[in-house]
Amino acid sequence: MQQVALIEAETRLAELIGIVAGGEEVVITKDDGSAFKIISYLHKRPYPKFGSAKGLIEMSDDFDEPLEDFEEYMP
């Protein structure tokens, strides 16, 4: 983790962004003691791949048969 003063960060912003993109953490500190962390943000959300669960789910042959417990409610 790299810690940088705000005044220094203003002149090295492009370099600091490159460091964060490489996987390292960068913390910017102000004179009053507050600190801020620069983090990487993925703007593209992962999307599920269709068919990735193929073969993982099995449905029984009698899946859509009426249940014995609900016979009294059937017409």
Q: What is the DSSP string of 47-68?
A: -PPTTTTTTT----TTTTSPPG
Instruction: Please name every residue paired with 38 in a beta bridge, in sequence order, or none if there are none.
Output: 26
pLDDT in tens, 35-65: 999 988 877 777 888 888 888 988 889 888 8
Given this model, what pLDDT does residue 73 score?
87
Give the mean pLDDT of the chain. Answer: 89
Structural domains of the chain, ranges and CATH numbers in brackets:
1-40 (3.40.1620.10)
Given this model, what pLDDT does residue 65 score?
87
Return the minimum-mean-pLDDT range out of 2-11, 25-34, 64-73: 64-73
Given this model, what pLDDT does residue 20 score?
92
